[in-house]
C-alpha cells in the first residue's frame, strides 16, 4: 500500500529558531532535516501553491496576495494527483483562502483565536483515517499560532513605519520564540497521535515552514512578505518515515519547487512533465549520500504594506546562490 502523507505546516517558523525547542529537536532525531530551502515567495498563499503544484507563482497563477484564488485550472494540483492514485485527502487550514479545495475529500478551516489545534488536529487526523477505511490518506494541517501571535502582538499594535517596533528586537525575539515553542509542542503531539494510532510504520510526516518571520531586522517589514532576506525566504523541511534516515541534517540549497517531485517519488507516483524542481527522495531514503544542491534559487514578493506595497503583481525579486 502507498504511504500515508501527513503534511504539517508550522506557519511562519524561522529556520534559525528550530533549535530552541526540545520537542522539535527530539523530532529531528527521528528523520532527515533540510533547513536551507528557499521559498519562492515569503507569504503563505504563493508559497503553499508552489508546494502543491511544483511551479513558480507566475506559472501556477498565484504570484501575488490578491491572486490567492487565481490558481490555473490547467495546472496539476497535489490533492488531485493523490486522489487519482487512491488516496483519501483532507485538510484543516486557517482559512479557505490558503489553497484551493480541488481534490480534497474533506476541506475544513479553524478559528485561529479560539481553537486549540493541539486537540482538534489530532482528532481531525483520526477522523480522516476512519473515513479512509484502510485507504492511504493525505492530510494537510496548518498550525497557525505563530501567525496569530504576529497579528495580535505586532500588526495590530504597530504601523509598518513605527520605529518603536524596530528598536526592540530582543523583546520581539523573545515573543517570537515563545510562539515557536508552542509549534514544537504541537508537532510532537501530532507525531505522538500517529504513534498511538499505530500508523508510523506506513506514514511519511513532513513538518515544514512556508516562510520565516521578521522580528524587526529590516525597517519596513514587521513580519514577512515585504523583502527577500534570509530571515523570511529560508525555510526548513523535516521528513520522518519508515524508510527515512534518522538524525540526518542538510544545509544544501534547495527550493520549494523541489517538494512536489519529492512527494510523488516517495509515493511511487509518476513524475509530471516540465516541472522545474528535482526530487530529493533518494537522499532522504539513503539511496544516495550526497544531496546535490542548486546553484541558485528564485524568490519574489509584493508586500501588502511597507514602503512599496504591490497587491496584484510581485515587485521585489531575488536570486540566492
Residue closest to 97 by CA, chosen among 41, 152, 40, 43: 43
pLDDT computed for residue 94 by the predictor: 96
* The three three-digit cell numbers of residue 286, written as one number: 539513503
CA pair distance 13, 221, nearest whole angstrom? 16
pLDDT computed for residue 290 by the predictor: 85
pLDDT for 86-104, tens place per residue?
A: 999 999 999 999 999 999 9
CA pair distance 161, 219, nearest whole angstrom? 7
Q: Specify the number of domains making up the chain.
A: 1
CB 13 within 8 A of CB 234: no
pLDDT computed for residue 292 by the predictor: 86
C-alpha torsion sign, points 29, 30, 32, 33: negative
* The three three-digit cell numbers of residue 280, written as one number: 530529493
C-alpha torsion sign, points 274, 275, 278, 282: negative
CA pair distance 87, 3, nearest whole angstrom? 9
* The three three-digit cell numbers of residue 236, written as one number: 526548513
CB 154 within 8 A of CB 222: yes
pLDDT computed for residue 289 by the predictor: 84
Below-50 pLDDT ranges, the chain: none
Q: Could you list the residue range(s) of the whole structural domain that residue 243 is in? A: 4-320
Report the Cα–Cα distance between both ends of the chain, in Å, rounded.
39
Q: What is the CATH number of the domain that holds 226?
A: 3.40.720.10
pLDDT computed for residue 28 by the predictor: 98
DSSP class of residue 270 equals P
Helix runs in the chain, H state only: 22-28, 44-53, 57-60, 78-84, 117-132, 145-150, 163-166, 169-196, 230-233, 259-266, 281-284
Amino acid at each position: 500500500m502507498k504511504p500515508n502523507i501527513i503534511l504539517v505546516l508550522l506557519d511562519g517558523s524561522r529556520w534559525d529558531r528550530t533549535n530552541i525547542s526540545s520537542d522539535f529537536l527530539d523530532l529531528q532525531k527521528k528523520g532527515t532535516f533540510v533547513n536551507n530551502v528557499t521559498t519562492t515567495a515569503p507569504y503563505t498563499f504563493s508559497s503553499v501553491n508552489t508546494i502543491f503544484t511544483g511551479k513558480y507563482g507566475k506559472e501556477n497563477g498565484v504570484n501575488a496576495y490578491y491572486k490567492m484564488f487565481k490558481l490555473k485550472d490547467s495546472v496539476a494540483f497535489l490533492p488531485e494527483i493523490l486522489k487519482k492514485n487512491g488516496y483519501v485527502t483532507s485538510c484543516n487550514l486557517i482559512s479557505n483562502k490558503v489553497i484551493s479545495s480541488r481534490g480534497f475529500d474533506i476541506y475544513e478551516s479553524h478559528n485561529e483565536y479560539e481553537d486549540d489545534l493541539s486537540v482538534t488536529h489530532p482528532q481531525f487526523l483520526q477522523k480522516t483515517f476512519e473515513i479512509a477505511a484502510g485507504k492511504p490518506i493525505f492530510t494537510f494541517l496548518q498550525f497557525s499560532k505563530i501567525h496569530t501571535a504576529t497579528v495580535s502582538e505586532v500588526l495590530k499594535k504597530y504601523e509598518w513605519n513605527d520605529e518603536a517596533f524596530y528598536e526592540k528586537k530582543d523583546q520581539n525575539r523573545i515573543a517570537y520564540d515563545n510562539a515557536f515553542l508552542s509549534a514544537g509542542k504541537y508537532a510532537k503531539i501530532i507525531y505522538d497521535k500517529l504513534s498511538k494510532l499505530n500508523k508510523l510504520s506506513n506514514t511519511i510526516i513532513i513538518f515544514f515552514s512556508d516562510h520565516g518571520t521578521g522580528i524587526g531586522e529590516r525597517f519596513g517589514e514587521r513580519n514577512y512578505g515585504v523583502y527577500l532576506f534570509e530571515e523570511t525566504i529560508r525555510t526548513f523541511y523535516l521528513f520522518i518515515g519508515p524508510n527515512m534516515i534518522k538524525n540526518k541534517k542538510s544545509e544544501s540549497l534547495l527550493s520549494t519547487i523541489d517538494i512536489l517531485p519529492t512527494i510523488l517519488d516517495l509515493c511511487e507516483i509518476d513524475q509530471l512533465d516540465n516541472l522545474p524542481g528535482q526530487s530529493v527522495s533518494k537522499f532522504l531514503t539513503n539511496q544516495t549520500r550526497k544531496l546535490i544542491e542548486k546553484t541558485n534559487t528564485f524568490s519574489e514578493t509584493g508586500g501588502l504594506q511597507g514602503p512599496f506595497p504591490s497587491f496584484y503583481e510581485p515587485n521585489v525579486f531575488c536570486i540566492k546562490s
